[in-house]
Amino acid sequence: MFQSILRNDYRSLENLGLAFRKHDHQTAVLLCLDHIFSQEMDISSFSVHDMAHFLPKFHAYARLLYQISIFSDPMEHQGILRLFSIMQLPGDEFLIRNRTFLYNSATEKCQATALVSEHPSGYKYSRRNVTELLRLSIRTVLKDKVLAVNGMCYKSPVFSQCLTFLVTGSCPRERCPQAHVPMLKLDRMYYNTRVAIHIWQILILQLLYSAHPDYDRQDRYVWR
């Protein structure tokens, strides 16, 4: 796994992720998926079938992030301690090592640093504060990633089909923002796949809303 990460070999990371999922090795799955979804992505040219392949994977990733963010006592979970390179110190304190994800995240969130004490190799936290830091950081990642994908879906043509093209076989618009699908492709499977990608997108956004209950959800009732 680490070799694939170093080589940026996303295909083998995907297969590894699937294999880890079968063995219920959640933290390893998260590590694989996190590398896959941290690369530069462009899903705007995806076809409906590419999208139907992409969104379930992204949902699995977002769901893992969400699950970690609601863990009742993550510091009791050895897998999480290893994944985030957290070291337990005597006196129920925890060390966040330099240059780790949580260290950077703590440095960014300046108000959090007030609650910690310095340590030669990082920050020292109480159990309560490190749990809070972990939850906050994971929720931020979840929000950023989900909003980025949502923005890309917004631009993707597959969520709406060009009617002019469908009826006449051609479309005079330059850079038509809607998908041009040949009539022959439109079967029952195609219809159901299109409905399914909408539902995936709803499930993904629901994870964001669950992790951020204060997020403004008004936009989903606006009927245009």
Name the residues that contact another protein, by CB under 8 A.
56, 59, 150, 154, 159-161, 163, 166-167, 183, 186, 188-196, 198-203, 205-206, 219-224
Residue 55 C-beta: closest distance to another protein, Å: 8
Residue nearer to another protein on the CB measure, 18 or 199: 199
Residue 193 C-beta: closest distance to another protein, Å: 7
Residue nearer to another protein on the CB measure, 128 or 169: 169
Residue 64 C-beta: closest distance to another protein, Å: 16
Q: Write phi, then psi, for 179 (nearest 5 degrees).
A: -75, 135
Give 111: exposed, middle or buried? Use CB within 10 Å, 0-12, 13-18, 19+.
exposed
Q: Could you count the other beta carbons within 10 Å of the beta carbon of residue 1?
A: 15
Residue 221 C-beta: closest distance to another protein, Å: 4
CA distance 90 to 83: 20
Residue nearer to another protein on the CB measure, 54 or 103: 54
Chain centroid offset of residue 64 CA:
8
CA distance 55 to 59: 6
Residue 205 C-beta: closest distance to another protein, Å: 7
Give 160: exposed, middle or buried? Use CB within 10 Å, 0-12, 13-18, 19+.
exposed
Both tokens of residue 52? 């139907």
Residue 194 C-beta: closest distance to another protein, Å: 5
Residue nearer to another protein on the CB measure, 2 or 221: 221
Residue nearer to another protein on the CB measure, 1 or 196: 196
- As a three-state string, the secondary structure of 92-115 is CEEEEECCCHHHHHHHHCHHHHCC
Residue nearer to another protein on the CB measure, 5 or 166: 166
